[in-house]
């Protein structure tokens, strides 16, 4: 249940046209290769656009235009095969929307594939496509990558275009999940170009990422963290052990490792002050849904958790929302000081826990927020870097005794995807994770 909309006939026609005309996108780096789009941010002209929502599904909503990133994919030569499953409005760390049902993990079909890019990650891990579009507003590239044994790079805020209907100032960014650092870097080169009206454009560091990722980063100062810093959120013992093993591996590659992390991570006051902005996300999603449906949204149009959060968002005073923005700014600057003080990278688990069993986070009338609260252990290490806008990458460096993938996250200073990809390339050379595929991979 990774792919929920298919456009095979259009894809075959486009592939045939490319074959018939060698001059059409002759220099495109991915000419004729298949791509799947996540059914959340990137919209494609004439295709369904439902965002995991039953209201849009029941209305049969079709988007009229390509998003800017989809145009980039087409210019790069990709052929769009369809759209992948996502939780409603991307609001969960597991992909189990009422509208389309759960996506299963290719490593263990009883477990979830993560969220919100769970359909994308499952499709790549199962061998359907070599890479698939994904987006990340709180960990939604990195979490599914960790659970499905893939490479998942969350670029810096403003690295890839979000237009024309989304704003680069928000927490969400887009890229792909893939098997290799090479593919991740090359697709970033093909798509990371500003478009008209972009409000934020991340700085570049000279060379193409496909080139710089192959270079030696030199001896780096890397801090690592094995505890969540959040009361009540414990790190699984196997995950903590894998983090220490990853630190040891980085040390063997010549880097300086120490148990250090930004003080801002431990400051609970930031989480409390930013909470209204987080809750407001569901309210904004429901307001946007009303625009697409052309009518007022009712409780029957959305899941119970989304409705509960949206109702709460409607009670948030404007001043609280603005103060939350100010808290995010303070948090961002406080966090950046650690990198300014001389550290190059931070190593953490991607998720505090391995992939959950499907249904473990399903909401009930008594606990309508279970999908949201249940996501906390999986996003506790990732979501803070959506707030700061820093790039982070999840790498499949370990597995549990039962065979579930464990992802490790590396985080760099804002704009330093080049450094992340260089170190990721070093680790891939040691672990060679792309040679280990999910049991159902052909």
Separation of CA 325 from chain center: 22
If one counts every other C-beta atom within 10 angstroms of the C-beta of residue 434, the result is 17
Question: Can you give the pLDDT at residue 262?
Answer: 97
Query: Is pLDDT at 321 greater than 90 in this prediction?
Result: no
Q: Supply the DSSP symbol for 440.
A: T
Q: What span, in angstroms and rounded, lies between the C-alpha atoms of 342 and 415?
A: 16
Identify the architecture of domain 3-435 in CATH.
Alpha-Beta Complex (3.90)
> What confidence tier does 325 reach under pLDDT thresholds 50, 70, 90?
confident
Mean pLDDT of 15-27: 96
% of the chain at pLDDT higher than 70:
99
Query: Is pLDDT at 246 greater than 80 in this prediction?
Result: yes
CA angle 362, 365, 366 (to 5 degrees): 95
Question: Can you give the pLDDT at residue 206?
Answer: 81
Structure tokens at 409: 């996250």
Position with higher pLDDT, 317 vs 401: 401
Provide the annotated active-site residues.
38, 116, 140
Q: What span, in angstroms and rounded, lies between the C-alpha atoms of 119 and 3?
A: 6
Question: Can you give the pLDDT at residue 268?
Answer: 76
Question: Can you give the pLDDT at residue 207?
Answer: 93
Question: Can you give the pLDDT at residue 169?
Answer: 61
Question: Can you give the pLDDT at residue 168?
Answer: 61
> What confidence tier does 273 reach under pLDDT thresholds 50, 70, 90?
confident
Instruction: Write the DSSP string, 190-243.
Output: HH----TT-S--PPP-SS-HHHHTTS---S-EEEE--S-SSTT-PPPHHHHHHH
Query: Is pLDDT at 287 greater than 90 in this prediction?
Result: yes
Question: Model's pTM, two decimal places?
Answer: 0.97
Instruction: Write the DSSP string, 368-402.
Output: TTHHHHTTHHHHTTTTHHHHHT--EEEEEEEE-TT
Mean pLDDT of 331-342: 97
Structure tokens at 209: 């990422």
Separation of CA 241 from chain center: 24
Position with higher pLDDT, 439 vs 197: 439
Instruction: Write the DSSP string, 159-205.
Output: SS--TTTS-TTSS-EEEEEES-HHHHHHHHHHH----TT-S--PPP-
- Greatest mean pLDDT among 256-270, 277-291, 426-440 lies in 426-440
The per-residue pLDDT for range 102-139, each reduced to its tens digit, is: 999 999 999 999 999 999 999 999 999 999 999 999 99
């Amino acid at each position: 249940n990774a792919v929920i909309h298919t456009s095979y006939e259009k894809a075959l026609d486009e592939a045939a046209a490319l074959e018939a005309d060698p001059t059409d996108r002759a220099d495109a780096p991915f000419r004729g290769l298949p791509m799947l789009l996540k059914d959340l941010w990137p919209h494609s002209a004439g295709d369904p656009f439902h965002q995991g929502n039953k209201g849009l599904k029941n209305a049969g909503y079709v988007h009229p235009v390509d998003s800017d990133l989809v145009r980039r994919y087409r210019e790069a030569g990709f052929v769009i095969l369809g759209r992948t499953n996502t939780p409603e409005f991307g609001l969960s760390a597991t992909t189990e929307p009422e509208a389309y049902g759960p996506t299963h993990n290719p490593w263990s079909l009883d477990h979830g594939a993560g969220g919100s890019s769970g359909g994308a990650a499952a499709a790549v891990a199962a061998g359907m496509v070599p890479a698939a579009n994904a987006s990340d507003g709180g960990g939604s590239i990195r979490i599914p990558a960790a659970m499905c044994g893939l490479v998942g790079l969350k670029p810096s805020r403003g690295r890839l275009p979000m237009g024309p209907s989304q704003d680069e100032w928000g927490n969400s960014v887009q890229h792909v999940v893939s098997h290799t650092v090479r593919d991740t870097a090359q697709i970033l080169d093909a798509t990371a170009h500003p478009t008209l009206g972009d409000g934020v454009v991340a700085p570049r560091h000279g060379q193409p990422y496909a080139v710089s990722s192959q270079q030696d980063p030199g001896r780096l100062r890397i801090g690592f963290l094995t505890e969540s810093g959040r009361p009540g959120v414990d790190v699984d013992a196997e995950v903590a052990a894998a983090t220490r093993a990853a630190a040891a591996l980085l040390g063997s590659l010549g880097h300086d490792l120490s148990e250090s992390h930004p003080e801002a991570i431990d400051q609970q006051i930031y989480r409390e002050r930013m909470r209204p902005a987080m809750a407001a996300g569901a309210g904004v999603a429901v307001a946007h849904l009303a625009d697409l449906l052309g009518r007022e949204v009712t409780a029957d149009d959305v899941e119970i958790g989304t409705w509960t959060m949206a109702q709460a968002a409607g009670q948030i005073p404007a001043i609280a929302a603005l103060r939350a923005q100010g808290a995010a700014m303070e948090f961002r600057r406080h966090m950046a000081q650690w990198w300014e003080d001389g550290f190059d990278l931070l190593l953490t688990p991607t998720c505090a826990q391995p992939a959950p069993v499907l249904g473990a986070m399903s909401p009930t009338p008594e606990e309508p927020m279970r999908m949201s609260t249940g996501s906390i252990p999986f996003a506790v290490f990732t979501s803070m870097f959506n707030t700061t806008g820093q790039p982070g990458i999840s790498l499949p460096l370990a597995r549990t005794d039962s065979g579930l993938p464990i992802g490790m996250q590396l985080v760099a200073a804002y704009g330093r995807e080049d450094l992340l990809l260089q170190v990721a390339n070093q680790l891939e050379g040691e672990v060679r994770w792309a040679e280990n595929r999910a049991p159902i991979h052909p």
